[in-house]
Structure 1
Amino acid sequence: MNEKPFFSPSLMCMDLLDIKNQVNILNSRADFYHVDIMDGHFVKNITLSPDFVKVLSTISTIPIDCHLMVTSPDDYIESLAKAGAGYICPHAETINTDAFRIINKIRSLGCKVGVVLNPATPLSYIQHYIHLVDKITIMSVDPGFAGQPFIREMLDKIREAKRLKQENGYHYLIEIDGSCNEKTYAELYNAGVEVFILGTSGLFNLDADLEKAWDKMREIFRTQTGQ
């Protein structure tokens, strides 16, 4: 049986003119804040930044999870740790030459370590350090933009991550990023997802009032999964 689900609002989808109020609402409801750091190179978009994390950390009461959609993650790790990141999660595709050094650096700075896999990247790509990570994020859309359709082939990757975790006693959380909403909750939860990143369709577009939007999300999730 799956554990209690965790929810991580994607702050690139929030109303950035109302950050403080929305964070105050989410502090008592969410489990993590998902902060996308993009460089305009690894993905053709630029969103949030270490400076945003620094400001967020002054009002957040839950861990800040930084997703590094950047070509050179090492350039961001120290500044994000100093800014208040709880998790630092580079893409597996960007750390192939120095994965162990990156993992050790993140942990030495007091942060938890995550790794993110693009839809076309198999779990076998991280097999030699999978036991070292605290969280695996499986992209269920191609990275870089919100509002994309769900890639169903990722359900098998989620099941594989769950099987490996159970068989080997690994401690990582299994997280999904992309198209988490009423159309996918049941399949994702049953496949083994533990952390659900909530964006426009899953949370912020459900109601103009974020408290009501959260309540609607939880009711939808309970209806779909029983949790």
Structure 2
Amino acid sequence: MSRKIQLSPSLMTMDLDQFKEQITFLNDKVNSYHIDIMDGHFVPNITLSPWFVEQVRKISDVPMSAHMMVTDAPFWVKQLIDVNCDEICFPSEVANGVAFSMIDEIHHAGLKAGAVLNPETSIDTIMPYIDLLDKVTIMTIDPGFAGQRFLQSCLRKITQLRELREEQGYTYQIEMDGSTNLKHWKMISDANPDIYVIGRSGLFGLTDNIEDSWKQMLQEYESSTGFRFDNGL
């Protein structure tokens, strides 16, 4: 039995010295690329930028999804619109007073808008505008750095969002981000998000070769969940 899921590799965790090789291999295998935008204020790390979106565009037509971890979300929304990033996801914790204007701006540009919920943030935070969202991302680790402790309790939000979507007829997709790997594949699959963000522990760090890492990831997913991998591509 197979289950359709979408995979979104986190490019923050890839081997940058193998950038072109890894992107070229993944282009026909993944549904989107997950691009972390960190400003050093919302979280203490600084990572990728809208410029990085432009670089990936040179060798890929796979949709790109920006996950902003920034304090001045409207500023970064404008930057990401300028580079035509397919999905722009803002941190719900700093969206009070600007959420509707950011969503409208993103949609006016013909792009998709999403909101991200950090582990301590409840679904109630996004309820005023949830009907306008194309995606809701649930963080299952603290934001800012890869490799942090997996927070299993956050998976309840995925179940709640799925139930809410069915009850209200919302159209957002549900994404989970954080420590998607052999240890957690089964419990994540049980929560049943639409999109899995995969990083170093689940893909890029499995072996020294992206093709071997991809094969190992699929084997681990299928052996852990009992489902055959199917991402619709």
TMscore range, shorter length: over 0.9
User: Post-superposition shift, 1:2?
Assistant: 9.5
Are 1:36 and 2:36 an aligned pair? yes
CA distance in 1, matches of 2:82, 2:102: 16
User: Post-superposition shift, 1:184?
Assistant: 1.1
Greater length-normalized contact order (CA 8 Å, ≥ 6 residues apart): 2
User: Post-superposition shift, 1:17?
Assistant: 1.7
- For the Cα contact (< 8 Å) 2:88–2:111, is it kept in 1? yes
CA distance in 1, matches of 2:5, 2:220: 13
CA distance in 2, matches of 1:2, 1:184: 18
Indicate the SS of the match to 1:129: helix
Residue 148 (structure 1) aligns with: 148
Residue 66 (structure 1) aligns with: 66
CA distance in 1, matches of 2:189, 2:130: 21
Could you state the TM-score of these two structures normalised by the residue count of structure 2? 0.94
Residue 91 (structure 1) aligns with: 91
Residue 197 (structure 2) aligns with: 197
Are 1:219 and 2:219 an aligned pair? yes
Residue 101 (structure 2) aligns with: 101
Q: 1:112-131 alignment to 2 at 5 Å?
A: 112-131=112-131
CA distance in 1, matches of 2:204, 2:39: 24
CA distance in 1, matches of 2:79, 2:125: 27
CA distance in 1, matches of 2:2, 2:120: 26
CA distance in 1, matches of 2:119, 2:2: 23
Indicate the SS of the match to 2:96: coil
CA RMSD of aligned residues (A): 1.4
Question: Which residue identity is paired with 1:73?
Answer: A
Count of residues in correspondence between the two structures? 227
- For the Cα contact (< 8 Å) 2:68–2:89, is it kept in 1? yes
- For the Cα contact (< 8 Å) 1:90–1:115, is it kept in 2? yes
Q: Which runs of 5+ in 1 are unaligned?
A: none
Residue 206 (structure 1) aligns with: 206
CA distance in 2, matches of 1:158, 1:2: 20
Are 1:166 and 2:166 an aligned pair? yes
User: Post-superposition shift, 1:192?
Assistant: 2.2
Spell out structure 1 runs of 4+ moving beyond 4 A: none
Question: Which residue identity is paired with 1:121?
Answer: T
Residue 51 (structure 1) aligns with: 51
Q: Which runs of 5+ in 2 are unaligned?
A: 229-233
CA distance in 2, matches of 1:20, 1:81: 24
Question: Which residue identity is paired with 1:133?
Answer: L
- For the Cα contact (< 8 Å) 2:74–2:98, is it kept in 1? no
CA distance in 2, matches of 1:222, 1:57: 31
User: Post-superposition shift, 1:30?
Assistant: 1.0
Residue 27 (structure 1) aligns with: 27
Indicate the SS of the match to 2:190: helix
User: Post-superposition shift, 1:58?
Assistant: 1.8
Residue 231 (structure 2) aligns with: none
Could you state the TM-score of these two structures normalised by the residue count of structure 1? 0.96
CA distance in 2, matches of 1:82, 1:100: 19
CA distance in 2, matches of 1:3, 1:177: 19
User: Post-superposition shift, 1:212?
Assistant: 1.1
User: Post-superposition shift, 1:3?
Assistant: 5.6
- For the Cα contact (< 8 Å) 2:38–2:45, is it kept in 1? yes
User: Post-superposition shift, 1:95?
Assistant: 0.7
User: Post-superposition shift, 1:78?
Assistant: 2.2
Question: Which residue identity is paired with 1:217?
Answer: M
